[in-house]
Amino acid sequence: MLRKLYTAITALLICSMILPCFMMTHAAAEVQEENISIDMRKADIRDVLSAIAINMGKNIIFTGEPVSISFSIQDVKPKTALDYLLNTAGLDYIEDGSTIIVGSRDTLNKDFYSRLSLTKFVLKYIESDIISAQIDALGIPVKKFVLNSNKHVVFVQGLP
């Protein structure tokens, strides 16, 4: 009887030690998904990027020169805040795992060309030469590859 009591108490103690670990892991995962609000005036862009990086749980490498920027956004996902900040500053980014490389489009194209997204589009209702002409007409800054052997496939490489 006493042995069963010790076994039950031991099992309860082990469960009470393990359960908080699962609760902390779940809470940490939720922090990354929460909306953020940022209001910075005449701040170094690297400081604003750092604040966003912490909330995204990622590392950010900034390839440009430090500039002062005013940025305010309320109740959005960290990724949305990053997109708005970079659009405001005329910058772009490449995401590589847990690292985001931020810089001008020219710098990213020149220095990080191998990390640019290459996507294959299989076309059903339009041929690749027509879509290629439309991309040119719209001025979308991507590189496209059209195969003469298959008119229903186009490869596009560029920044997100």
Same domain, 8 and 57: no
Same domain, 17 and 66: no
Same domain, 143 and 120: yes
CA distance 144 to 57: 33
- Average the pLDDT over each of 54-58, 101-105, 107-111, 148-152 and give the range with the smallest value: 107-111
Same domain, 39 and 97: yes
Which phi and psi (to 5°) does residue 91 adopt? -115, 170
**Joined tokens for residue 132:** 């290629």
Same domain, 146 and 105: no
Q: What is the pLDDT of residues 108-119, one digit of tens each?
A: 777 666 666 677
The reply to whether the predicted model has a pTM over 0.85 is no
Q: In the chain, pLDDT over 90 holds for what percent of residues?
A: 3
Same domain, 47 and 26: no
- pLDDT exceeds 50 at position 28: no
Residues of the domain holding 19: 1-33
Q: What is the pLDDT of residues 58-86, one digit of tens each?
A: 888 888 888 898 888 899 999 899 999 99
User: Which residues in the chain belong to E strands, given as ranges?
Assistant: 36-44, 59-62, 68-76, 92-96, 99-103, 117-122, 143-146, 153-158
Number of domains observed in the structure of the chain: 3
* Cβ atoms within 10 Å, residue 102: 24
Residue 11: pLDDT band by 50, 70, 90 thresholds?
low
Same domain, 104 and 147: no
CB 5 within 8 A of CB 13: no
pLDDT at 34: 85
Which carries the bigger pLDDT value, residue 113 or residue 127?
127
Please give the DSSP secondary-structure letter assigned to residue 116: S
Average pLDDT over residues 127-137: 86
Same domain, 23 and 77: no
pLDDT at 21: 54
CATH number assigned to the domain comprising residue 96: 3.55.50.30
- DSSP for 5-43? HHHHHHHHHHHHHHHHHHHHHHHHHHHHHS-EEEEEEEE
Give the residue carrying structure tokens 């082990």: 14
pLDDT at 16: 58
Average pLDDT over residues 27-39: 66
Beta 59-62 vs 99-103: how paired, if at all?
parallel
Same domain, 9 and 49: no
CB 139 within 8 A of CB 105: no
CA distance 24 to 30: 10
Q: Which of 96, 112, 128 is at the close of a domain?
A: 112
Same domain, 103 and 130: no
